[in-house]
Amino acid sequence: MEVIVRKTSEEVSQLTAQMVCVQLQQKPQSVLGMATGESPKRTYEILVEKCKAKQISFSKATCFSLDEYVGLDSSHPQSYRYYMNKNLYSHIDIEMQNTFVPDGLAKNLQQAAKEYEEKIVQSGGIDLQILGIGRNGHIGFNEPTSSLASRTRIKTLTESTFKDNARFFAPSEFQPHLALTMGIETIMEAKMIVLIASGEAKADAIKAMVEGPITAICPASILQYHPKTKVIIDEAAASKLQLKSYYQWVRSQQEKLFS
């Protein structure tokens, strides 16, 4: 796990976008794993700017979203398909048929989950997975005590996640308790993972993920086992890390080496 601490959330987004750009420049037909939520929004905005400036192209890329609510169709503003179209896909040169989001409206959700896994395999597997982290340590919608060997499946959201996401729904609006999410093992199969977080509200989750034990109570802690994970966080999200200055020192040495 490589921990990269940046002063601001803007710098977190810039560095993450840069990593996606390098990935696409090195392998135009990359398969990317996409997160939704607040954390990657600015990164997507930067990617849109770079694509419009013709510095990168998604024309040969394939994207798989981490998760989708059960019961929301793609025209619902809170659905993750809507989010991806609005924040990224509608503004870049990707072929829409190469963008995938779990089908939260499928009659047979288990079958849809199985097919999603198959599509990822058929596409050659995920080269670069972008992740956010929940305050409770979830990745995707793999909530605490999710099996660390789980595959794409239906998950019930915890009360804390439900409450965290309630801000996006109108008070009278239906807010799903269920989601289809890539499993933890599915995520772990990505060749490279970039997890991003900003703000003090994420500091406990980041501490548990980076420096705590590997445990299903903090699903993100399994990333300690992943050989190529970068954790890109701002000062506030890094504020509870015991070895924060060590991570900063390591990074500064690397930047000196490669500058």
- What is the DSSP code (8-state) at residue 105? T
Residue 38 or 255: the one with the smaller Cβ distance to ligand F6R is 38
Name the strand (E) or helix (H) holding 12: helix 9-26
Residue 137 or 244: the one with the smaller Cβ distance to ligand F6R is 137
Residue nearest to ligand F6R according to CB distances in the complex: 132
Q: For this structure, is 138 an active site residue?
A: yes
Task: Compute the least distance from the CB of residue 55 to ligand F6R, in Å.
Answer: 25
Task: Compute the least distance from the CB of residue 259 to ligand F6R, in Å.
Answer: 31
Q: For this structure, is 136 an active site residue?
A: yes
Name the strand (E) or helix (H) holding 178: strand 178-181
Contact positions vs ligand F6R (CB under 6 A): 35-39, 66-67, 132-134, 138-141
Residue 100 or 141: the one with the smaller Cβ distance to ligand F6R is 141
Output the six-digit token pair for 201: 């509200």
Residues forming beta bridges with residue 63, ordered by sequence position? 32, 99
> Are 216 and 148 in contact, with CB atoms under 8 Å apart?
yes
The catalytic residue among 76, 103, 127, 136 is: 136
What's the farthest any 2 CA atoms get from each other in the chain?
55
Residue 38 or 200: the one with the smaller Cβ distance to ligand F6R is 38
Name the strand (E) or helix (H) holding 110: helix 109-122
Task: Compute the least distance from the CB of residue 141 to ligand F6R, in Å.
Answer: 6
CA 149 from chain centre, in angstroms, equals: 18
Task: Compute the least distance from the CB of residue 255 to ligand F6R, in Å.
Answer: 26
Task: Compute the least distance from the CB of residue 162 to ligand F6R, in Å.
Answer: 11
Q: For this structure, is 143 an active site residue?
A: yes
The catalytic residue among 68, 103, 143, 235 is: 143
The catalytic residue among 68, 76, 127, 138 is: 138
Q: Residue 106, class by beta-carbon neighbours within 10 Å (0-12 exposed, 13-18 middle, 19+ buried)? A: middle
Residue 140 or 183: the one with the smaller Cβ distance to ligand F6R is 140
CA distance 106 to 79: 14
| Side chain identity at residue 197, one-letter code | A
Q: Residue 214, class by beta-carbon neighbours within 10 Å (0-12 exposed, 13-18 middle, 19+ buried)? A: middle
Residues annotated as catalytic are 67, 136, 138, 143
